[in-house]
Every structure is written in structure tokens, then in C-alpha cells.
Amino acid sequence: MRPMDAYFDRIGYRGGREPSFATLTAIASHHVRAIPFENLDVLLGRPPRLDLPSLEAKLITARRGGYCFEHATLCGAILEQLGFAVARHSARVVMVTPREQAPRTHMFLTVMDHVIDVGFGGLAPHVPVPLDGCAAGRHRIVRDGTGIALLHDDQRLWVSTLEPEAPIDFEMGNHFTATWAPSPFVQRMMLRAFTPDGKVTAMNRDVTITRGERSETFQLADRAALRELLRTHFGFDLDVSALRIPTVPEWAEQS
């Protein structure tokens, strides 16, 4: 099976392959819903690789998830194979961090004058967001000085200069994100999977399962419970016996 066919099988997409806005919208929506957001490799001491064979092996063949650099790199490559003109950009995530303290550690795409951000975790837009400021569901783009910001309702998610960047820029950002000791992705476990009626999220040991308007919260007891959560809600099995969460003392060392 060719990588593109395998990718479409992975995200459950059966539509057309012409480089149209309808195709772009469908692929973005299917990708976000099918491929989870997770940083488990970072916490297992295995910084993610961004070359396409590694991404295909992890996100497609092994049916794993990943974080923004992995999602955006894979999705961008597929869109280019279909004939779309794709630009790659970095952003500063400012949800809880002041702009002057937020490094450029988020990756997103622009295609057909729309933002495609399939790797933003639980608040990722499910459809392209127009650069002209029109709303796309609960997301919209606003001007931010000489750049732009992505909003979810009235919350600023990230800001960007919108300049196109080269693969080496994302290699550097990926290395920093996955190895710098104070990095949120080194310090905390972050998981998200969308379901037909809601989503499942985890921050360290705290899990929330949302179904429609109802939410259930609980705490993972141990790594065995985490592995079962991954099998049940994220669609893959993974040995997490060596996983470390520095901000959770009992999980900070191998047990």
C-alpha cells in the first residue's frame, strides 16, 4: 500500500483527491479526529523524529499519535502530494505563558489562505480557519501587530509572524521541545483523542472523558492503568513501564 493510501486509511478518508477546498477541509477534519495528540515518546526518552519514514511508521503503521511537529509535517507532506501549495509556520503558544516567555515551539500550516492546525491538542480546529478573520466554528484569526493570532472563542491560543519557515527550523524547535528540561512536554504528560461524541484528555494522571455535555474525571492509579487507557480510548498499545513524569513524584522514576 502506498503511503498516501495508508494515510487515508488511517484517518478514514474515502473522498476525492483533487486539490480543492472541499478536499482540504475533509482531510483536516478526518486527521484531527483520527490521530491522537500525545507526547509519550518524549517521556520515554525518545525525542520524536520528523523524517517522513519515521512519521509514517509511528502515526500510520503503529497508529500512534504525536504532537504538533509530527502532525503538521505529515499532513503537510500529504497535502503537497495531492497538489496543494503548503506553507509551514511556527507560533508562540500564549494560552498560559506571556508572549515574551513563549518560544516558537508550535508548528502549523497555511493552505489556500487558511490555517490548518491539526496538531494543537484539545483545542485544535477541526476545519481550515480563514486568514481573513471570518469564524470557522469557535476559531478565528485576528491581526496581532504585524502578525496573527488564533482564537478559540475569546481565548488567544498562539501568535505568529506568519513567515514561512524551513524544515531545519522545525528540527530545532522539535529538539528544544523534546529535550529542554523545563519544557512542558518534558515535564508533563499530555494526551487527547477525539471520539464520536466527545473527547478524552489526560494531563499527567488526571483524565477527563467528555461525552456530549457530560464529563467524567478520574485519576490514573499507575502505568498499567495508563496502558489500558491508551488501548481503550487512543487505539494503540504501548509499553509505558519506563515512562517518567517529572511533575508527578511517584512517576518521576522508573517503577
- pLDDT tens digits along 215-230: 999 999 999 999 999 9
Q: Cα 162 from chain centroid?
A: 19
Domains, the chain, with CATH or none = 3-178 (3.30.2140.20), 188-251 (no CATH)
Q: How many Å apart are CA 252 and CA 255, to the nearest integer?
A: 9
pTM of the model: 0.96
Q: In terms of residues, how long is the chain?
A: 255
Mean pLDDT by 10 residues, the chain (255 residues): 86 97 98 98 98 97 98 98 98 94 96 98 95 97 95 97 96 97 97 94 97 94 97 97 95 73
Tell me if 109 sits within 8 A of 88, measured CB to CB.
yes
Give the pLDDT of residue 178.
Answer: 98
Distance CA 216, CA 195 (A): 14
d(CA 230, CA 218): 15
Can you give the pLDDT at residue 253?
A: 76
The catalytic residues are 68, 106, 117
The DSSP-derived string for 206-246 is: EEEEEETTEEEEEE--SHHHHHHHIIIIIS-----TT---T
The DSSP call for residue 66 is B
Q: For the segment 178-205, what is each residue's pLDDT rounded down to a tens digit?
A: 999 999 999 999 999 999 899 999 999 9
pLDDT at 255 (0 to 100): 47
Grid cell 497555511 in the structure block, residue: 110
CA distance readout (Å), 96 to 37, 92, 157: 19, 11, 9
**Both ends of the chain: CA-CA distance in Å?**
40
